[in-house]
């Protein structure tokens, strides 16, 4: 079995790396955390143009998916560069709507694939919060066999805001659709750029039946998978920054990176990340093949990548010393993200239980 990426997939990774490097993502993250979503939404459109959000959307709805391996490639880069926003949720929403079908899929999937809609998602069993619901055009929730959609305030300012000439309006300038509602106040997160909201009760029922439950299960698996890829990328960025730092910082007239204890700590961190990588791409292969054990493989990848990313954060903080605590250092944003990524869309204990269940 071949786990190496092919030339096209490696080029996809390089192109995303170049795009995100040029976008100055640390400034985008700082703005997003401060409530300035403009630069982040501009980057969102550029990622859509690169095909990121089409990877999990079926071809029948304007996507190119599902393509799990390419999704892993993309989300490792997104995690490495710390891109903010409901990236995982929008991709998982594509899987959810694609499985549920119906008018909602026809309306929203082309918009997700093209990047003209930002969608957040909350599923039973994965916590009560929808990430960045304040900027989302729609928030999807599943309760039992019902899929509900709440149109968000992001529809007025998001990347695909439907305003201007040609947009049908009703009395008073309304669109004739349910008015968007605000998500309320966010819950405090360890990562200020991850804004957590409890979905508003109610919402429009857009699909119902046993198919919704199965689609939600698949969407949860994809969300876990994409989060694992983000965690791996985040860990790689932390390790890379730390290696560069210990080469520069000196103690007793020599770089601290020359000390054996520092080398061992960095080597352990690298091993954790490198052992997580084949688990991630192995899970991608199982997802692509529709293997019965794909869910357990994804859970194993999430445990390994999440723990490795968090270990990289602890290593980075220790070896950077007091400077690692400062918000002026871009590294601080990656340090704050590693722990939430470890726990989002499947805590380590929940994922281990999934692996044991087979």
What is the distance between the alpha carbons of residues 227 and 342, in angstroms, rounded to a whole number? 8
Question: Does the structure show a pLDDT above 90 at 328?
Answer: no
Model pLDDT for residues 300-314, shown as the tens digit of each residue: 999 999 999 999 999
Greatest CA separation found in the chain? Answer: 75
Kindly report which listed range (60-64, 124-128, 185-189, 216-220) carries the lowest average pLDDT score. 185-189
Question: Does the structure show a pLDDT above 90 at 167?
Answer: no
Q: Per the structure block, which two tokens stand in for 250? A: 């000196």
**Average pLDDT for 63-77:** 97
User: What pLDDT score was predicted for residue 311?
Assistant: 98
Phi, psi of 123 (to 5 degrees): -125, 145
**Average pLDDT for 183-197:** 88
Do 26 and 84 meet the contact criterion of CB atoms below 8 Å apart? no
Question: Does the structure show a pLDDT above 80 at 166?
Answer: no
Do 91 and 57 meet the contact criterion of CB atoms below 8 Å apart? no
User: What pLDDT score was predicted for residue 171?
Assistant: 29
Tell me the average pLDDT of the chain.
91
**Average pLDDT for 199-224:** 95
What is the distance between the alpha carbons of residues 73 and 68, in angstroms, rounded to a whole number? 9
Question: Does the structure show a pLDDT above 90 at 339?
Answer: yes
Q: What is the dihedral of CA 231, 236, 241, 242, to 10 degrees?
A: 90
User: What pLDDT score was predicted for residue 325?
Assistant: 74
Question: Does the structure show a pLDDT above 80 at 165?
Answer: no
What is the distance between the alpha carbons of residues 191 and 332, in angstroms, rounded to a whole number? 10
Question: Does the structure show a pLDDT above 70 at 163?
Answer: no
Question: Does the structure show a pLDDT above 90 at 176?
Answer: no
Model pLDDT for residues 267-292, shown as the tens digit of each residue: 999 999 999 999 999 999 999 999 99
List Cα–Cα distances, 90 to 38, 175, 329, in angstroms. Answer: 18, 24, 29
Percent of the chain at pLDDT > 70 equals: 91
More confident residue, 96 or 177: 96
Contacts of 99 (CB under 8 A, 6+ apart): 211, 214, 215, 218, 219
Q: Per the structure block, which two tokens stand in for 349? A: 């204990």
Identity of the highest mean pLDDT range in 57-71, 158-172, 188-202 = 57-71
Task: Give the pLDDT band of residue 322 (cuts 50, 70, 90).
Answer: confident
Kindly report which listed range (186-195, 211-220, 257-266) carries the lowest average pLDDT score. 186-195
User: What pLDDT score was predicted for residue 323?
Assistant: 83
User: What pLDDT score was predicted for residue 155?
Assistant: 45
Question: Does the structure show a pLDDT above 80 at 216?
Answer: yes
Model's pTM, two decimal places?
0.91
**Average pLDDT for 219-229:** 98
Nearest CA to 86 out of 160, 139, 9 is that of 139
User: What pLDDT score was predicted for residue 1?
Assistant: 56
**Average pLDDT for 213-219:** 97
Q: Could you tell me how many residues make up the chain?
A: 358
Do 64 and 53 meet the contact criterion of CB atoms below 8 Å apart? no
More confident residue, 166 or 348: 348
What is the distance between the alpha carbons of residues 194 and 85, in angstroms, rounded to a whole number? 7
């Amino acid at each position: 079995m071949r786990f190496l990426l092919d030339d096209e997939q490696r080029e996809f990774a390089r192109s995303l790396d170049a795009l995100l490097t040029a976008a100055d993502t640390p400034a985008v993250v700082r703005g997003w955390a401060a409530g300035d979503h403009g630069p982040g939404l501009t980057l969102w459109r550029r990622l859509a143009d690169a095909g990121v959000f089409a990877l999990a959307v079926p071809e029948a709805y304007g996507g190119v998916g599902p393509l799990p391996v390419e999704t892993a490639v993309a989300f490792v880069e997104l995690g490495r560069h710390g891109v903010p926003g409901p990236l995982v949720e929008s991709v998982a929403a594509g899987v959810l709507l694609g499985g549920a079908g119906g008018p909602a899929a026809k309306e929203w999937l082309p918009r997700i694939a093209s990047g003209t809609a930002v969608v957040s998602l909350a599923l039973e069993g994965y916590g009560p919060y929808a990430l960045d619901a304040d900027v989302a055009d729609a928030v999807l929730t599943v309760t039992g066999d019902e899929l509900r959609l709440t149109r968000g305030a992001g529809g007025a300012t998001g990347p695909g805001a439907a305003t201007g000439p040609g947009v049908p309006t009703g009395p008073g300038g309304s669109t004739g659709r349910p008015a968007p509602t605000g998500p309320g106040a966010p819950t405090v997160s360890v990562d200020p750029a991850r804004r957590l909201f409890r979905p508003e009760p109610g919402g429009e029922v857009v699909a119902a039946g046993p198919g919704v439950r199965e689609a939600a299960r698949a969407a949860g698996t994809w969300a876990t998978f994409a989060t694992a890829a983000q965690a791996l990328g985040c860990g790689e960025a932390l390790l890379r920054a730390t290696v560069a730092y210990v080469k520069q910082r000196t103690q007793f007239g020599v770089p601290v990176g020359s000390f054996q204890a520092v080398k061992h700590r960095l080597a352990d961190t690298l091993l954790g990340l490198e052992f997580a990588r084949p688990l991630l791409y192995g899970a991608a292969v199982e997802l692509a093949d529709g293997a019965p054990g794909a869910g357990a493989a994804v859970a194993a990848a999430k445990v390994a990548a999440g723990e490795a990313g968090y270990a990289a954060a602890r290593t980075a903080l220790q070896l950077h010393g007091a400077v690692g605590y400062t918000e002026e250092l871009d590294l601080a944003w990656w340090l704050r993200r590693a722990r939430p990524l470890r726990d989002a869309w499947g805590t380590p204990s929940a994922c281990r239980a999934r692996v044991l269940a087979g």
